[in-house]
Amino acid sequence: MEYESYYFVKFQKYPKITKKVLETEDKQLRSGGRTRRTATSSQNVPRVKKQTVQQPVSKTSSGSTAKPKSSTKESTRQNSDGADTLDQSNFGLTISGISKTGGDSSHPRKGQIIDFHKMIQDAVRVPPDGIPLNSLNSDPDPSERLLKPLSAFIGMTGEMRELAMVVSKDIYLHKPNVKWDDIIGLDTAKRLVKEAVVYPIKYPELFTGILSPWKGLLLYGPPGTGKTLLAKAVATECNTTFFNISASTIVSKWRGDSEKLVRVLFELARYHAPSTIFLDELESVMSQRGTAPGGEHEGSRRMKTELLVQMDGLARSDDLVFVLAASNLPWELDRAMLRRLEKRILVDLPSEEARRVMIQHWLPPLSKSGGVELRTELDYSLLSQETSGYSGSDIKLVCKEAAMRPVRKIFDALENHQPGNSNLAMIQLDTITTADFLDVITHTKPSAKNLSQKYTAWQREFESV
């Protein structure tokens, strides 16, 4: 059935599926005036006739995880005689018993049958790296958005298919699960992101003509301030397919093939639209071209060009695919890339109020983790003043470290305790105090304090609001 839907997408009609019959019946068929023709591709599918279908396709595929898209009846309802060609390499199917073109071999050889079972098994087969092609939609949770089977992905040659697997495995993020309320502070950034991406998806009729949605959005600011969280919230709240690609993914594994990877990524995003592509650490991928010491790597230059080409393609299309990029160093970005990221949003360090909420969130007066009670006595207002310049992730780190202190004290007791002698529940953890927290602060410096001037200067020059 996957083959059938692939065929339908590619040729706008259903394939005719028949089974090759025995030699004598074959002769009768031919003498009946209908000569089978195969198509003129180097690997072809045979012409087939409705009446001879004997093996119900739906039955064969029932053991697989494929989502049937149409009934067996539908699969045979069209009977056009057009000279369709199909490059099997696009689909990776091995159909046994199919003749090659040329000479007499344009007829199937005697006694050959189409192995439907194998065909369907191949369509849903598990590739060597162990991820079934349609693993993306095999999740049994009905509340989740089901993705179309990857095997119906158009124009997928063997190599592209492999890259599509990489994208699905390393880059496609199953369920980001970040809500707007999980992001503390950042009210302006949240509002701007909603206006730029969320509302166009929710109310597309409003966003036409001059209001047509932005296709590229840049979130910039100090590291650890919630840029990734914002992108994930977009994907969660809009229920879009989320592709998270960072420089490290590209560089570590796919340096040579990175431009193809980019192409496949955008293809897949269009295929699974509405989608969000999140390009993290953009400055590492799209630094100003030609500035790398010792000249730029050819592969990297090609990849940058491909990224620009794909972004242009998006800008011209109506596909609901949004590119969200994040950068800690926006001034290092390539100008051509910057032009395509029309909307730029500063995700700044948390305000004093946001810091207070964060500390309270991560270190509430009483929390329980793993059956252990953690108590705090903190002057949240004082601590929020003292953490000026700290990013969200810095504050989280400080909270973690502060919470670790009383736990550390009981390690000795735990290590010495004999099984049966004492009980974990008997051990009382010390309360975390304001002094503990302040002590941690003196040992943990903020990671991006002195860049804030630079961000605001860049904002004045480049932000479009």
The residue ranges that bind ligand ADP (CB under 6 A) are 183-186, 223-229, 326, 350, 392-393, 396
Measured from the CB atom, the residue of 145 and 361 that comes closer to ligand ADP is 361
CA atoms within 13 A on the CB side of 132: 15
253: which residues sit within 8 A by CB, 6+ positions away? 166, 170
**Closest approach of Cβ 449 to ligand ADP, in Å?**
15
- The residue with its CB nearest to ligand ADP is 392
- Least separation in angstroms between residue 422's CB and ligand ADP is 35
Nearer to ligand ADP, 189 or 308 (CB): 189
Of 397 and 427, CB closest to ligand ADP: 397
User: Min. distance of Cβ 328 from ligand ADP in angstroms?
Assistant: 7
Q: Which is nearer to ligand ADP, 50 or 445 (CB)?
A: 445
Instruction: Give min distance, CB of 227 to ligand ADP, in A.
Output: 3
* Beta carbon nearer to ligand ADP, 184 or 329: 184
Q: Least Å distance between CB 274 and ligand ADP?
A: 22
Shortest distance (Å) from residue 218 CB to ligand ADP: 12
Of residues 135 and 327, the one with the C-beta less far from ligand ADP: 327
